Structure 1
Amino acid sequence: MPTIIAGAKRFYGAHPLYLLVLLAGFSLFGYIIAVMGPATLWNPDVWWQSILVWFLGAVIAHDFVLFPLYALADRLLTASWHAARGRRPTLGRPIVSPVNYLRIPALGSGLLLLLFFPGIFEQGKATYLAATGQTQQPFLVRWLLVSAVMFGVSALSYVVARRYALRQRRLTEVITT
C-alpha cells in the first residue's frame, strides 16, 4: 500500500487525498449544475452569475495582486527579524520571535478592512444614509480602534511570552548549576 501511495505521489505530484478532495469539489459543482438545470445557467436574471463573477474576480485579485504583496511583506518582516537577531548578541536571553505577534493582528485588521471597505472609505454615502439614516463616518475610527486593540493585545501577549521564556531560561540555568 505505501508503494502505491508513493507511486501516486510521483505521478500526481501530491498526496492522493488532494486529488480525492479536488474530485469531490468538482462532483459537488456538477451536482449543483444538474440540480439547477442547464436552462438556468445562462439566464441573465439569475443572481448567482454576479456572485460567480465576483468570486472569480476575488480569486484573480487575491492570487495575482494581494498574495504577492503580503508574501513580500511577510518575507521582509521575517528577514528583518533575523537580521536584527544576528547583529545583537543575545547574552543568554531567550529569543521569542515577534513575527507571529505581528502577523495575527495584521491579518485581522486586513480582513476587517476587506469586509468593511465600502463603509470605511465612505463609498455609497447616499445609499447608506437613505437605508439607515446614519452616516458612514464612524466606520474608519472604529476600524482603527479595533486594529489598535488587536495590535495592543498582541504586544501584551508578546511581552508575556518573552517574560515567560526568560523565566524558563532562568529556571533551567538554576537547575543545571
Structure 2
Amino acid sequence: MKKLRLSVGSPLQLLLLACSFALAGYAGVRLLADDWLQVALWFVGAAVVHDLVLLPLYAALDRAVVRASGAIGHRERAVYVRVPGALSGLLLLVWFPLISGRVADRYESATGLSASGFLTRWLLITVLLFGASALLLVLRLRRATKDRQPAVH
C-alpha cells in the first residue's frame, strides 16, 4: 500500500498561501455582509449557467475549430483560435456587466468614472488578440515553409 506524503513548499510559498487565504476570507466577509442571500444565489446561478450552458457551448465551439483545422491537415493550429478566444471570453465574463451597460449608473456613482466605452474596448482587444494570433501563425508558417524548401543545386 502506498503512503501519502505531504509535500510542504518553501516558507515563502506557505506565507503567500496563508496571505491569499486571509485575503479571500476578508473579501468573503465583506461581500457577504450586505446581502448574503443575493450573493449566494448569484454564485449558485453562475455555477449552474456555466455547467449547463457555457461549458457545452465552448466545448462544441472548440470541437468545431479542431475539426475545421483538422480538415486542412493541421489540428495543432487550433491553438491559434483557442488562446485568443479564451482570453476574449474571460474578459467578457469578468467585465460583462459594464460591457453590456447594465450597471453603468452604479459604476459611475461608485468610482466617479464614465462607464461608456467598455464594449468598444472589449471588441478592440478581441480584434487585437485574434490579429496577433493570426500574425504569429503566418510567421510560423513562413518559417516552417523556409525550413522545408529543398536546396537548389
Shorter-chain TM-score range: 0.5 to 0.7
Read off the aligned partner of 1:140 and give its amino acid letter: L
Give the counterpart of 2:55 among 54, 57, 67: 67
Q: 1:21-170 counterparts in 2 under 5 A?
A: 51-85=39-73, 97-170=76-149
Q: CA deviation at 1:131?
A: 2.3
Q: CA deviation at 1:142?
A: 0.6
Worse-matched range after superposition: 128-137 or 155-164: 128-137
Q: TM-score, normalised by structure 1?
A: 0.60
Q: SS where residue 135 of structure 1 aligns?
A: coil
Cα distance in 1, alignment partners of residues 147 and 47 from structure 2:
45
Structure 2: gaps of 5 or more residues? 6-20, 26-31
Read off the aligned partner of 2:105 and give its amino acid letter: A
Cα distance in 2, alignment partners of residues 142 and 70 from structure 1:
23
1:96–1:165 Cα contact (<8 Å) kept? no
- 1:28 aligns with none
Q: Percent identity?
A: 38
User: For residues 121 and 78 of structure 1, do their structure 2 counterparts lie closer, same or farther at Cα, with a shift above 3 Å needed?
Assistant: same
Q: Count how many residue pairs are aligned between Structure 1 and Structure 2.
A: 128
Structure 1: gaps of 5 or more residues? 5-15, 18-31, 37-43, 86-94
Cα distance in 1, alignment partners of residues 61 and 91 from structure 2:
18
- The structure with the largest alpha-carbon Rg is 1
Deviation sequence 1:31-57 (CA, Å, 0-9, x none):
x9xxx9xxxxxxx96866655443333
Q: CA deviation at 1:163?
A: 1.3
Q: 1:2-21 counterparts in 2 under 5 A?
A: none
Cα distance in 1, alignment partners of residues 46 and 126 from structure 2:
23
Q: CA deviation at 1:164?
A: 1.8
2:80–2:137 Cα contact (<8 Å) kept? yes
Q: CA RMSD in A?
A: 3.2
Deviation sequence 1:14-42 (CA, Å, 0-9, x none):
xx99xxxxxxxxxxxxxx9xxx9xxxxxx
